[in-house]
């Protein structure tokens, strides 16, 4: 389909397609994106003024200490928008801090503190197509895409209550 080759590739369209995938397929695709990005993220970091590393790390440290099953459940809950203490805390972060949190999770998978991808996991063909398309868009637009993708995840902190 022209989607992947299109010069006028739309970030919004990609985000919509991403969200339309099965929850597990979204997680797997996000993981493969992380693997593709390699070390290109670190240089972008100083550009950010709206990121709170301590807050992202605080939430990540909570998740790191949970069982693998709970870690996976939390990531699925973030995508589906289920309301739990963790997803409400996530919902109170700035968009860039949310992105940093996901980045820390992926690094945790690399270092063994977060549940790893099953071996030989096969992306669905629609997820694979989207991955191929995302690889072709410029880095700045990729960042916008990922930020738009993670921004509405999680749940609203409830008013007047503890998070």
Which positions lie near ligand 45D, rule CB under 6 A? 24, 27-28, 30-31, 33-34, 37, 41, 44-45, 47-48, 51, 72, 75, 96, 99-100, 102-103, 105-106, 115, 117-118, 121, 143, 146
- Cα 125–chain centre separation: 20
21 three-class SS: coil
For residue 13, the minimal CB distance to ligand 45D (Å) is: 18
> For ligand 45D, which is the closer residue by CB, 131 or 158?
131
Min dist. Cβ of residue 39 to ligand 45D (A):
11
The rounded distance, in Å, linking the Cα atoms of 158 and 87 is 11
Sorted by sequence, the CB contacts under 8 Å of residue 97 that are 6+ apart come out as 50, 51, 52, 55, 56
Q: Which is nearer to ligand 45D, 122 or 158 (CB)?
A: 122
DSSP state of 44: G
């Amino acid at each position: 389909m022209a989607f992947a080759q299109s010069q006028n590739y739309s970030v919004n369209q990609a985000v919509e397609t991403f969200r339309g995938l099965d929850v597990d397929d979204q997680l797997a695709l996000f993981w493969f994106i992380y693997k593709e990005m390699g070390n290109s993220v670190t240089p972008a970091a100083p550009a950010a003024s709206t990121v709170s590393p301590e807050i992202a790390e605080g939430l990540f440290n909570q998740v790191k200490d949970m069982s693998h099953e709970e870690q996976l459940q939390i990531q699925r809950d973030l995508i589906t928008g289920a309301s739990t203490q963790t997803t409400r805390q996530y919902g109170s972060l700035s968009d860039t801090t949310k992105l940093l949190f996901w980045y820390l999770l992926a690094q945790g998978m690399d270092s063994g503190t977060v549940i790893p991808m099953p071996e030989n996991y096969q992306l669905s063909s629609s997820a694979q197509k989207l991955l191929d398309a995302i690889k072709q868009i410029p880095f700045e637009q990729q960042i916008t895409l990922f930020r738009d993708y993670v921004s509405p995840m999680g749940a609203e902190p409830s008013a007047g209550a503890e998070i």
